[in-house]
Amino acid sequence: MDDVLIAPDIDYLAVAPMIIVGVTAVVGVLVEAFAPRRPRRGIQLVLTFGALIAAFVVLISQAGTRVITGSLAIDGPSLVLQGLILLIAIVSAMLMAERRVDPAGDAFSPRASALPGSEEERVLSTRGFMQTEVWPLMLFAVVGMMLFTAANDLLVMFIALEIMSLPLYLLAGMSRRRRLLSQEAALKYFILGAFSSAFFIFGAAMLYGFSGTISLPGIADALSANPGQTPLIFIGFGLVVIGLLFKVGAVPFHQWVPDVYQGSPSAVTAFMAAAVKVAAFGALLRFLYVAFGGARWDWQPALWIIAIATMLVGSILAITQTDIKRMLAYSSIAQAGFILVGVIAVNPEGVAAVMFYLAAYGFATLGAFAVISLVRQDGGEATHLSNWAGLGKRSPVLALSMSLFMLSFAGIPLTSGFIGKFTVFEAAILADAVPLVIVGVIASIIAAFFYVRVIVLMFFTEPAEVGPTVVLPSVFTTLVLAISVAVTVILGVFPQPVLDLVEQANVFLR
């Protein structure tokens, strides 16, 4: 009987959301292969939105009814974060589906290998070729992200990391405009991503060498059973954490962020900035809390330094940026630092605060990049800050929305960002990390400078003679803006229901 393979008992309903998205992604690939060209985009849109919405509905209906632990942990944090990833994915997909703002079509190059401005490209676009592979790619990335937040052993976590990352490398290089910048960004992202993955898997091997297991709870048990210190522990821990910190863009593993955010199509940047952060912080939280929660005194000092460096470097470098996408990239680095403050707290309040912050930051980011995609000059996006002067006169509604997102990033009361910062700092104070909070507040003050500068530019500066045009979007981007504004305001004015939700779901199962 010993050599009989015992099939694992899988609770399919609990993992159904991931299965739905994953299977749809595979179907999407088949559609690319077999469906005729003209209806392809329509089919992909139906599949994508259908899968994401269905997954979200199943997730909601199953929430709280079943928990599993093993290689995957379906618990409070993973359910909340998966739901958040799905919502962000739905909104990002709307942004990617926008076809009216670029006169040449959507934001993606019909064939990434074609040289920009070449005869081949002209032919492709006049004949109506569209890039539709972005949809299955995006779904694969979503599966990876969902898996990442639920991964309860190091191998699943690594696989999830790769499923998430590989499609993103491709998506980053598919921009129709400024193709070379986009392809350079994709290659940089890929090389550095591979570099960090190597650290991660090397660290996982070290930890396996120490504990004889890859399961996170198993590592925790091994740590409490063997209090003696060996280099295997800190080298393994350090390398795994570095792999995860790379994904959230923490200093000094942040340098890819500005280049990639600037080069990628804005819709993809929005998706990466919002959703990858959710997934990576989910994995980081689980790794730190489940496997190394007992050893927090050992690793907190190192992460303190990283958090402080991340907040300060992100905020300070954003000040001298002249490109709004790069500025938002540094802003996202600084925001990652603020979120790290909540991570380091290692208490349930910290988990709740991080989840709330991710939601607040995610939707404000989606909205900000949606606005960027609408301010255009000569066909492409007008991302130089000088182009934004006087935008408030030309398009007050758009400028007001952008101001709202900036105020939320800066953490001004009555916006979601304020509640996010407040809860994160509150959790840190509960964990006696007062110096961290002080640095956080100082960094917030520095950061407020460049956020408010955008508002000043838009409303209090005379517009240039030949300014950019603000294009009127289709229903897709309009919806994205409306949703982002609504979430930013509601989470700022009436945050209690969401705070209650994240407080109910703030304990990791082992």
Footprint of another protein (CB under 8 A)? 187-188, 191-192, 195-196, 199, 229, 231, 233-235, 237-239, 241-242, 246, 251-253, 255-256, 258-259, 298-299, 301-302, 305-306, 313, 316-320, 446, 449
The C-alpha angle with vertex 356 and arms to 353 and 359, in degrees rounded to 5, equals 150
Least distance (Å) between residue 252 CB and another protein: 4
CA dist 224 and 226 (Å) reads: 6
Q: Which is nearer to another protein, 219 or 318 (CB)?
A: 318
Least distance (Å) between residue 321 CB and another protein: 9
What letter represents residue 429's amino acid? I
Least distance (Å) between residue 296 CB and another protein: 11
Least distance (Å) between residue 149 CB and another protein: 23
Q: Which is nearer to another protein, 20 or 241 (CB)?
A: 241
Place of tokens 């400024």: 178
Q: Which is nearer to another protein, 108 or 189 (CB)?
A: 189
Q: Which is nearer to another protein, 256 or 287 (CB)?
A: 256
Least distance (Å) between residue 82 CB and another protein: 29
Q: How many CA atoms lie within 13 A of 31 on its CB side?
A: 25
DSSP 385: G
CA dist 393 and 382 (Å) reads: 17
What letter represents residue 215's amino acid? S
Q: How many CA atoms lie within 13 A of 309 on its CB side?
A: 13
CA dist 271 and 375 (Å) reads: 19
Least distance (Å) between residue 3 CB and another protein: 42
Q: Which is nearer to another protein, 178 or 188 (CB)?
A: 188
Q: Which is nearer to another protein, 49 or 304 (CB)?
A: 304
Least distance (Å) between residue 247 CB and another protein: 13
Least distance (Å) between residue 344 CB and another protein: 14
Q: Which is nearer to another protein, 77 or 203 (CB)?
A: 203
**Between helices 496-504 and 76-96, what is the axis angle to 10°?**
130
Compute the chain's Rg from CA coordinates: 22
15-33 b/e with 16+ CB inside 10 Å = b?
Answer: bbbbebbbebbebbeebee
Least distance (Å) between residue 249 CB and another protein: 12
Least distance (Å) between residue 125 CB and another protein: 30
Give me 227's structure tokens.
């209090």
Q: Which is nearer to another protein, 200 or 476 (CB)?
A: 200
Contacts of residue 57, Cβ cutoff 8 Å, sequence gap at least 6? none
Q: Which is nearer to another protein, 371 or 410 (CB)?
A: 410
**DSSP string spanning 439-457?**
HHHHHHHHHHHHHHHHHHH
Q: Which is nearer to another protein, 16 or 181 (CB)?
A: 181
Dihedral sign from CA coordinates of 95, 319, 276, 455: negative
Residue 109's alpha-carbon distances to 112, 184, 187, in angstroms, are: 6, 15, 16
Q: Which is nearer to another protein, 253 or 369 (CB)?
A: 253
Q: How many CA atoms lie within 13 A of 158 on its CB side?
A: 20
Q: Are 487 and 498 spatial neighbours (Cβ–Cβ below 8 Å)? A: no
Residue 282's alpha-carbon distances to 75, 185, 292, 342, in angstroms, are: 12, 25, 15, 12
Least distance (Å) between residue 330 CB and another protein: 9
